[in-house]
Chain A
Amino acid sequence: MMETIGPALVAICLLIGAIFTLVAGIGLLKLNDSMTRLHAPTKVGTVGVGAMLLASMIHSFVLGHESYHELLIMAFLFVTAPISANFIAKVQLHKRNCDAPPLPPRDDTWSTYDVPEFDRHHEELEEFSEPKAN
């Protein structure tokens, strides 16, 4: 019984994972502005990897030597994926590479733009000066 259902379940999970990973790749290529492009890998990627890890777990249980590492991989992935997305978004904001966001209702500005006057000046200098030859 388990010998027939197990591999089928593994195959289905692998297929789902592969499809979602492919869609994440297509999204990365198709979307044409840096902020929308961020959406495809952050979301579709989690289920893509999740389904493949589920396949690995089912495989280990069918073979009889259980493995729980996949649960941890999934947990760490879900904790870290938003942080990398947040950093990429912050870089886009910092480089003024996207539409300007509206100002926050209560505070002065967004934390990425909240830099001292001196550093703002410094950034502009770096942008316009040629790199020095050694």
Chain B
Amino acid sequence: MLSKAYRWLLPHPFLTLLLAVVWTLLQNDISAGMIVFGLILGIIIPLLTQLWWPDRPHGLNLGKFISYALLVMWDILVANVQVAWIVLTKPNSKLKPAWVVVPLELRQPEAITILAGTITLTPGTVSADLSSEGHSLLVHALDAEDPDAVRDEIKSRYEARLLEIFK
């Protein structure tokens, strides 16, 4: 009974939290009033929009998601220095750009979107396209001696973690 009421009031608890945080930051005023108003918006908006979001992911592992976000931020910092170094020191003729095909185990569109975004933001790789049925991701690497190693790193470092987050 209680869990049913909770389901009805908060169809998407993560979105509620996100909306409340974004509202409070937008107001630039971390006070009780603003947090309450943000929570009210965070409850009303998911209720009004849940009709248009039928297959949203359930049971997001928030703790693992936060540690994943921290890992990605660290990788972005490292990637920036690496790419800056390549741009400044490597002559164009020595660059080895390559296409990398990453077969996907993830099935949810949200998870694939996060993986594609992560790939674009991290070491010398840009996700370019998805295959027609969504079973593989096409990635362009700026400087890859060994495209297979790039693929294995993406799979073990990011996809494995995302599989645990979106169970």
Contact = CB atoms under 8 A, between A and B. Distances in A.
A110 B130 contact: yes
B16 interface: no
- Which of A66, A89, A92 has the most chain B CB within a 10 Å cutoff? A89
B87 A68 contact: no
A91 B87 CA distance: 23
Nearest to A80: B117
A86 B136 contact: no
A71 B31 CA distance: 17
Contacts of A86: 116, 120, 126-129
A111 B130 contact: yes
Nearest to B127: A86
Contact residues of B: prevailing secondary structure: mixed
A81 B129 contact: no
Interface in A34-60: 35-36, 38-40, 42-44, 46-47
A27 B80 CA distance: 12
Interface in A94-116: 99, 101-102, 104-112, 114
A105 B101 contact: yes
A11 interface: no
Contacts of A46: 76, 80, 121
A72 B25 contact: yes
Contacts of B87: 23, 26-27, 30-31, 40, 44
Given A47-B77, A67-B28, A39 B132 contact: no
Interface of B: 22, 24-26, 28, 30, 76-77, 79-80, 83-84, 87-88, 92, 95, 97, 99, 101, 103, 116-117, 119-122, 124, 126-136, 138, 140, 142
Interface of A: 20, 23, 26-27, 30-33, 35-36, 38-40, 42-44, 46-47, 66-69, 71-72, 78-79, 81-83, 85-86, 89-90, 92-93, 99, 101-102, 104-112, 114
Given A23-B88, A30-B87, A79-B117, 12 more contacts: A35-B97, A46-B76, A68-B28, A72-B22, A72-B26, A89-B128, A93-B129, A102-B101, A107-B131, A107-B132, A110-B131, A111-B131
7 contacts: A38-B140, A46-B121, A69-B26, A101-B101, A101-B128, A109-B131, A111-B130
List of 4 A-B pairs having minimum Cβ-Cβ separation, nearest first: A82-B120, A89-B128, A104-B131, A27-B87
